[in-house]
Amino acid sequence: MTLHREGKSLLISSLLIVLVINGLVAYFFPENVYLRETIVVITSLFYLIILQFFRVPARHTEINPNHIIAPADGKVVVIEEVEEPEYFKGKRKQVSIFMSPLNVHVNFNPISGIVTYFKYHPGKYLVAWHPKSSTENERTTCVVKHENGTEILFRQIAGALAKRICWYVKEGDQVTQGQEFGFIKFGSRIDIYLPLDAEICVNIGDKPVGSETIIAKLR
């Protein structure tokens, strides 16, 4: 397991803050061992929480053109037929994965193909499970067209804690199933829009593993 590059500056600044706090406590309260040990434990836990958030575990993707793999770790919170108004402007099957602050927050390409559409939308920071978060929160919309002509739309959505969405793709890029395409800092969500005849392979409440779990099969 490695640490994600997006966490470099935050991890360094957080470590400095932890060291300064512990140094000040030791300087002003040299006789209070209980206080010093308590502060060390609290600040260490704080730093470990931030550290684990930026972890990048090793993953293995079994590439299959008929499979849609999970673009993120988390919990399946939505499976329904909806109207997709931005790109398809028609009915699609939506699968949404909610990422808590404890999940890995690397985002992976669900299929291989060409990025035919990409757009960043500034917006609000409603809680990620709010029904309007898909259309009102800060978000990105990415569409990948497979060589068989099938297009899959996936949308990074910032949550109440997520204040930065990162992406590493643009229109015209060739992407590979399972490769990293983005990162969202802290709690957030990803929506995937699939053809109506796609076979959904997950249920509400399931906890898919990004780049490995098959969430749907194309017919």
Find the catalytic residue in 112, 134, 188, 211: 188
pTM confidence score: 0.82
Query: Tokens representing 160?
Result: 């109440």
* Local confidence pLDDT in tens for the 219 residues of the chain: 687 677 677 778 888 998 999 989 888 888 888 898 899 999 998 888 877 777 778 888 999 999 999 999 999 999 999 999 999 999 999 999 998 878 888 999 999 999 999 999 986 666 555 555 566 678 899 999 998 899 999 999 887 665 678 899 999 999 999 999 998 876 688 999 999 999 999 999 999 999 999 999 998
Beta strands in the chain (DSSP E): 2-3, 55-56, 67-69, 75-84, 90-99, 106-108, 113-121, 139-145, 151-158, 165-167, 174-175, 180-184, 188-194, 199-200, 214-217
Task: Give, to the nearest 10 degrees, the angle between helix 33-53 and helix 8-28.
Answer: 180
Q: Helices (DSSP H) in the chain: which residue ranges?
A: 8-28, 33-53, 133-136
Give the helix, strand, coil percentages of the chain, each rounded to 5: 20, 35, 40
Q: How many CB atoms lie within 10 A of CB 43?
A: 19
211 is catalytic: no
